[in-house]
Every structure is written in C-alpha cells, then in structure tokens.
C-alpha cells in the first residue's frame, strides 16, 4: 500500500474520502491494475484479532476502507482521524454509476439465487451502459474451479463479491492469482439492498450514525454477532487511556 493508512488494532485503513477512493479505483481500472478491496467494520477488525489466517488475508488487500462509524470513531479516539466512513454499499453504487458512464464490465457474485437475479435486473434497468458480463449466486460449490475461470474469461472491471465476511475475503484471496485484471471488492449484504429486498437505514439514521442500530432492529438475528461491538469500543477506550498516560 502506498497511500497513508491509519492502523486500528493493527488493521491498516486507507486515509481517504469516499469520492477520492472512487477516483482511485476508476484510475486503477483504467490502468488495468488488479485490486483487492476490503470494506472493514469493527466486526472484521475484531475477527482479525483472533484469526491469524484472516489477518494475513487483510494484509494482502490493496485497500481497507472504514466501513462503519465505529472505525471512524476509533481513529478519532487514538488521535489519527479518518476523514469519513467509506462503506461497501456506497462504493458499489458509485462504481456502478462510473461503470454505466464509461461502459465498463461488471460481475455480480453472491447472495441467494433470487436476490442475485433481482440485483442483476436492477443493474440492467438502472445502469443500461453497464456490460453485465456475468452473475453467480453465493451458494455455489467452492471446490468447483469453473467460477473463477468464467470470471477470468469475462474480464470484468468490477467484481462485487457479496458472500458476507469472512467468506468474501477468503474467496477473493484464494482466487486472486487466477485473475489478470479487475477490482475485487467484498460488499457484504449490498446485493440484498440493491435487489430491493433489504432497506438501508433512512438517511436521518445514517446521519446520526445509527445505521448499525437500524440493522439490528430490522434483522434482530444479528444481535449475537454484534456483541463484539461493545468489546471493540472497550479495547479502543483502553488504547486511548494508554495513549494519554
Ligand atoms: N451469502 C452468500 N453465500 C454464503 C453466505 C452468505 O452469498 O455462503 C450472502 C447472503 O445471502 C447475503 C450476504 O452474503 O446476501 C451477506 O450475508 P451476511 O449478512 O451474513 O454478511 P455480512 O453482513 O456479515 O457481510
């Protein structure tokens, strides 16, 4: 990584605004630089603390963005502020706009078969300039090499990998060597939102930094995985204490 980063629990986050990051990715597409992007929230950072293999994969990524207000707050707490949140969903939507305007190639990987098909339909209708070169739902056989071969043959500029964490980063890492070009980005549940099946928090909730709470209310089954959030906050507060001493 050549760009400035801020380390949160040893995970290096790119110091960038959302817009500057989109420009970086478009430029890398134009110059055919294969790129691995992780959009990381506190859950991902906490997972990296206990899973060395996952931590090593994060280190291999070209960019890790601050996907979550928790990361932005943590950076502030240690006195190395990041400009703003750079979320997977927002990146995906702006890259779709860029791909539409520039007639670029897109591949949609992940989510259920129905959701993937609905997301593809939305891309076709809302972004007619995009060359949608392939789709694949997220419940495929990992041992079958044909998916990576299909992606490599299609030469997409952007591959949105919506398998949820840590699966999406594992999949990208495992196959990256087989690709000669493309921006590969893990986007979590973004295809669920693009398909219209899941609503993103209303803007006012987003502005108040309560999007995580909205998700919890809408998908209460997520509460267990969210237990790491207070742990993350505690670890970061302790770190600030150490800084102040
Ligand atoms: N998903 C998938 N394959 C899997 C497991 C999950 O495609 O084997 C999809 C799931 O359908 C959803 C997305 O991954 O569209 C995000 O799932 P989850 O909410 O678990 O991910 P997170 O929010 O943690 O990234």
Residue 84 token pair? 């703003």
Q: Where are the beta strands (DSSP E) in 16-86?
A: 35-40, 63-66
Q: Which of 176, 162, 166 is nearest to 107 (CA)?
A: 162
Q: What are the two backbone dihedrals, phi and then psi, of residue 35, each rounded to the nearest 5 degrees?
A: -140, 140
The pLDDT score that the predictor gives to residue 2 is 55
Give the whole-angstrom CA distance, residue 104 versus residue 90. Answer: 18
Q: Which of 65, 89, 163 to mutate for ligand 1's pocket (most ligand atoms within 8 Å of CB)?
A: 163
| Atom of ligand 1 minimally distant from the CA of 110 | 7
Residue 235 token pair? 């670890």
- The CA 192 to ligand 1 mean position distance, Å, reads 9
Ligand 1, atom 15, lies closest to the CA of 111
Residue pointed to by tokens 């693009």: 194
pTM above 0.85, yes or no: yes
**Does 1 have pLDDT greater than 50?**
no
Write the pLDDT tens digit of every residue in 4-38: 999 999 999 999 999 999 999 999 999 999 999 99
- Residue-number span of the structural domain to which 32 is assigned: 5-244
Burial class (CB in 10 A: 0-12, 13-18, 19+), 191: buried
**Does 183 have pLDDT greater than 70?**
yes
201 contacts 79 by C-beta, under 8 angstroms? no
If one counts the domains in the chain, the total is 1
Give the whole-angstrom CA distance, residue 21 versus residue 45. Answer: 20
Residue pointed to by tokens 């959302």: 18
């Amino acid at each position: 990584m050549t760009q400035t980063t801020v380390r949160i629990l040893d995970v290096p986050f790119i110091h960038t605004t959302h817009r500057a990051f989109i420009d970086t990715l478009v430029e890398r597409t134009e110059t055919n630089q294969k790129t691995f992007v992780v959009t990381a929230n506190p859950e991902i950072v906490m997972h990296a603390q206990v899973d060395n293999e996952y931590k090593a994969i994060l280190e291999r990524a070209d960019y890790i963005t601050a996907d979550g207000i928790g990361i932005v707050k943590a950076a502030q707490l240690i006195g190395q502020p990041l400009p703003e949140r750079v979320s997977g969903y927002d990146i995906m939507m702006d890259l779709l706009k860029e791909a539409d305007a520039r007639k670029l190639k897109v591949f949609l990987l992940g989510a259920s078969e129905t959701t993937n098909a609905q997301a593809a339909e939305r891309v076709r209708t809302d972004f007619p300039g995009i060359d949608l070169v392939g789709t694949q739902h997220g419940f495929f056989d990992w041992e079958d090499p044909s998916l990576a071969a299909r992606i490599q043959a299609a030469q997409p500029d952007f591959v949105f990998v919506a398998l949820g964490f840590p699966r999406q980063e594992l999949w990208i890492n495992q196959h990256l060597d087989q690709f000669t070009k493309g921006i590969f980005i893990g986007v979590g549940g973004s295809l669920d939102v693009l398909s219209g099946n899941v609503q993103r928090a209303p803007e006012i909730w987003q502005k108040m930094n309560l999007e995580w709470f909205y998700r919890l209310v809408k998908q209460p089954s997520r509460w267990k995985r969210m237990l790491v959030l207070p742990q993350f906050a505690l670890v970061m507060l302790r770190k600030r204490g150490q800084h102040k001493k």
